[in-house]
Amino acid sequence: MTEPLLRRLAARGERLTVAALPWIAPVYRVMPGVAEVIEMPFKHGGLQLVGRLKLASQLRDKFEVAYVCPNSLKSALLPWMAGIAKRVGYTGEMRFGLLTDRLPHPQTEERPPMVEWYAALSLVGQNPGKPMKLVGDLRPVLKAGAGVMDEALEALATHMPTLPTLAKRSYVVFAPGAEYGPAKRWPARHFAALASKIDSPVFLLGSNKEFDICQEIATTANAKQPGHCFNLAGQTNLTQAFALIAYAHRVVSNDSGLMHVAAAFGVPQVAVFGSSSPEHTPPLNDRARVVWLRVDPSYQPPLACSPCYERNCPLGHTRCLEDVSAERVYRLL
């Protein structure tokens, strides 16, 4: 989602260094405008003040501007500690003293699509007094050399010799996880039913946390079509996952990070939305198809409770996902 922002900054001559957590750093290494990636040695949760002070001392006097994309207080601490003169971001969690240039933090119902949300930071300080207007292509783009991708798949095939041949466009990728919570996850039994309809090998991608979900899908699907569905959750590095997605025939996912990766690589995909909205975080890909019952005219009565943006269904039924059949998704592949 931040790639269009970085592309705009690079286009106007800024040399870009991205500081990112280790699990997301590989994403920025395949963004065309990024010159350098610094992996921050932090974990989720906690201030980790000593570590931030140490990294800040290493960054001091090396940068003129910092663009702070996350809205948290701690994300704005590092550039402030490093003494970076211009620090740009949204007001977020009461960051008035930490940021020098701020955009107001709109209410959820007023918030634009995330790519526009981030890209607007490129306009802070430009043409003061005039309305900010984003123009040009805002679709995220990821690019990696064919050699990098081929090497990643070769390493995966060597590590897992039981996998079928990883020929380009010969398989389908499922990404059944969603870090945010169950209200964004299409049920595992629906993924399994869809896998059973597909003749090509199906590879399930995700993190270690999603291994059990993927294993449930693989076990159910393979009971009908043995040796057809492969659980790779937690068994690939991010570069290998990117390569599998970039060379896939199709990708099916929830509203998740891997959905946006598939969109940025321009892969044909189907994305299933539940508690969230494709009006806010759509897969920006001309080859993407979205399933969202909130606006589906064939689904009656209209599902007025979506989007609720909750981790768990407040009503306890999760109809926004339960009522999306495997056949409905299959027709879009």
Q: In the structure, what pLDDT confidence band is assigned to residue 48 with cuts at 50, 70 and 90?
A: confident
Is the pLDDT score of 290 beyond 70? yes
Tell me the mean pLDDT in the region 287-294. 96
Tell me the per-residue pLDDT of 173-202, one tens digit each, with 9 for 90 and over: 999 999 889 999 999 999 999 999 999 999
With beta carbons less than 8 A apart as the criterion, state whether 226 and 195 touch. no
Q: What is the pLDDT at residue 246?
A: 95
In this prediction, residue 111 carries a pLDDT of 63
Q: CB under 8 Å to 35, separation ≥6 — which residues? A: 15, 16, 17
CB count within 10 Å of CB 194 equals 26
For residues 218-235, give the mean pLDDT.
Answer: 96
Q: Which residues, 6 or more positions from 172, have their beta carbon under 8 angstroms from its beta carbon?
A: 198, 200, 201, 202, 203, 248, 249, 250, 251, 252, 333
Does 224 or 135 have the greater pLDDT score?
A: 224
Q: Is the pLDDT reported for residue 54 higher than 70?
A: yes
Mean residue pLDDT of the chain comes to: 91
Q: Residue 130 — pLDDT band, cuts 50, 70, 90?
A: very low
Does residue 56 register a pLDDT over 90? yes
Name all domains of the chain by residue range, CATH numbers in brackets: 3-123 (3.40.50.2000), 146-330 (3.40.50.2000)
Residue 247 in tokens: 């060379």
Residue 128 has pLDDT above 70, yes or no: no
pTM of the complete model? 0.85
- Give the residue-averaged pLDDT of 23-40: 91
pLDDT, tens digit, 9 for 90 and up, residues 102-120: 888 766 555 678 888 899 8
Residue 244: closest CA among 262, 257, 220: 262
Q: Which two tokens stand for residue 40?
A: 């921050």
pLDDT of residue 301: 85
Q: Rounded to the nearest 5°, which phi and psi values hold at 259?
A: -60, -45
Tens of pLDDT, residue by residue over 200-225, are 999 999 999 999 999 999 999 999 99
Average pLDDT over residues 288-316: 92
pLDDT at 259 over 90: yes
Max Cα-Cα span within the chain: 64
What pLDDT, on a 0 to 100 scale, did the predictor assign at position 129? 43
Specify whether the CB–CB gap between 172 and 262 falls below 8 A.
no
Measured distance CA(241)–CA(232) in Å, rounded: 9
Amino acid sitting at position 7: R
Share of the chain above pLDDT 90, in %: 71
